Amino acid sequence: MTDVVVPAPTTRKDWQSDQEVRWCPGCGDYSILTAVQLLMPELNKTREETVFISGIGCAARFPYYMNTYGMHGIHGRAPAIASGLAVSRPDLDVWVVTGDGDSLSIGGNHLIHALRRNVNLTILLFNNQIYGLTKGQFSPTSELGKITKSTPMGSVDRPFNPVSVALGAGATFVARTHDLDRKHMQETFRQAHDHRGAAFVEIYQNCNVFNDGAFDTLLAKESRPEMLVPLQHGQAIRFGADNDKGIVMGPDGALRIVSVAEVGEDALLVHDAHREDPGLAFALANLSSSVHQPTPFGLFRQVQAPEYAQEASRQLARAVEQKGSGDLAALVRSNGTWSNG
């Protein structure tokens, strides 16, 4: 019998690198970094088997500040790089740190394919609705009419809803949190990490230099009870300062916000994050059309599906078993080739 090796206990300090953290003072990235560093000792993983991979942007500095293996990739390609690593080294704990500009613009193609393939990655998308590193251009999540250096008359682009994008790509774990609630972030990150397959977490993150206060309507302390709609699997969806509001689904499948006193608790929608059909999760993702309306937070969807690296390994094993049955030379010289001249 092989002895189980239990990693030596660590603390947050063990996961902090010796690099000076260089984000703008007050940036929401600091609180996300703190939440991750505080969580890591609880995940029963070693620093040597943990990897953080990023693309380009403010969020992409993240690997420098983690005392683990890491890679600062190129713009939008972090999911592709991470997919290659996760498939070739399934023993590693691979995280992707990205931003709304990095992963939803030039990196959109790589993100959706990592999600649809269900590669075993924990993907953290920092969404501040702006390009911060390049000094304030509009991003794929900026609202209609957003005035920036690159849209002086207001953006005419309809913004992406990152949760909807992830659900549309078939992600098996989709959640949303925000940078002002460390406890909620840590629990969300923990669930994402423990999920086998592609886990996607959107984090509302304030850019206090180029888009300060973008989420104040939702996240100001006095606003949260009336604006944040908590999603907990198996529980009726209720919110409000007195828990007096709820969500119901009409006969047409549309969701509506109602007064619990008017409809009764039995009429409220009970959240089912484990439902195979993503329709409910998608409807919840689109409950609000902007961050100025009550918005769901928490776990939208978590289902089980074959994980990509595992399936690829099984296929490789079958190929090894059948060694000698193929003819590479014949394949190369098959009718799919031709010559010139």
Residues, the chain: 341
So what's the pLDDT on residue 263?
Answer: 96
The span from the CA of 267 to the CA of 68, in Å, is 49
So what's the pLDDT on residue 4?
Answer: 62
So what's the pLDDT on residue 337?
Answer: 63
The span from the CA of 329 to the CA of 284, in Å, is 54
Residue keyed to tokens 């031709």: 338
The span from the CA of 291 to the CA of 273, in Å, is 22
Query: How does DSSP classify residue 277?
Result: S
Helix residue spans in 174-223 (DSSP H): 182-194, 216-219
So what's the pLDDT on residue 324?
Answer: 60
So what's the pLDDT on residue 190?
Answer: 98
So what's the pLDDT on residue 111?
Answer: 98
Query: How does DSSP classify residue 137?
Result: B
Give the contacts of 267 (CB within 8 A, at least 6 positions apart).
246, 248, 258
Which domains occur in the chain, in start order? Answer: 12-214 (3.40.50.970), 235-302 (no CATH)
Print pLDDT tens along the chain (341 aa).
556 667 889 999 999 999 999 999 999 999 999 999 999 999 999 999 999 999 999 999 999 999 999 999 999 999 999 999 999 999 999 999 999 999 999 999 999 999 999 999 999 999 999 999 999 999 999 999 999 999 999 999 999 999 999 999 999 999 999 999 999 999 999 999 999 999 999 999 999 999 999 999 999 999 999 999 999 999 999 999 999 999 999 999 899 999 999 999 999 999 999 999 999 999 999 999 999 999 999 999 999 999 999 999 998 888 888 776 667 777 777 776 667 76
Strand locations in 223-274 (E):
228-231, 238-239, 245-249, 255-259
So what's the pLDDT on residue 320?
Answer: 80
So what's the pLDDT on residue 325?
Answer: 65
User: For residue 281, what is the enclosing H or E element?
Assistant: helix 279-285
